[in-house]
Amino acid sequence: MKDYLSRLISYHELIKEIEISGEEHLKFIKRNPSAYLKKAEELKEKIASDIYLTPEDKERMLKKISSYVEQVEQEKEKVDLNLLLGILLALSAKEGILQEILERIGELLG
């Protein structure tokens, strides 16, 4: 039993290392999401493959990690979309069609 408890404590400490403590922390993680996601995935694999944990404990810990990963991936998708929009605008300006697009949008809105 003591070994099981020490395993749980150890995993909870590892989960604390990837815990997202707020918006500012999430912004910091967004700067390098791949390192964070890699660490979270390694922890998920370690927990999932631990034959000594009960299925209930595994499920609870994996859900917690998944919720953190989901937050980071959602933010990453927003950044990717903003990057794509920026590239589209830059190419449109370069090709000289940005003004035409803006005029059409103005017509639609106005």
Q: Where are the domains of the chain?
A: 2-109
Using one digit for the tens of pLDDT, what is the confidence trace for 37-55? Answer: 999 999 999 999 999 999 9
Q: Which of 12-21, 26-35, 91-100 has the lowest mean pLDDT?
A: 91-100
Pairwise pLDDT comparison (97 vs 37), residue with the higher score: 37
Note whether 61 and 11 are within 8 A (CB).
Answer: yes
pLDDT reading at 95 higher than 80: no
Note whether 38 and 66 are within 8 A (CB).
Answer: no
pTM for the whole thing? 0.65
| Residue that is written with structure tokens 């967004």 in the block | 30
pLDDT average, residue stretch 57-77: 87
Distance CA 71, CA 66 (A): 9
pLDDT reading at 79 higher than 60: no
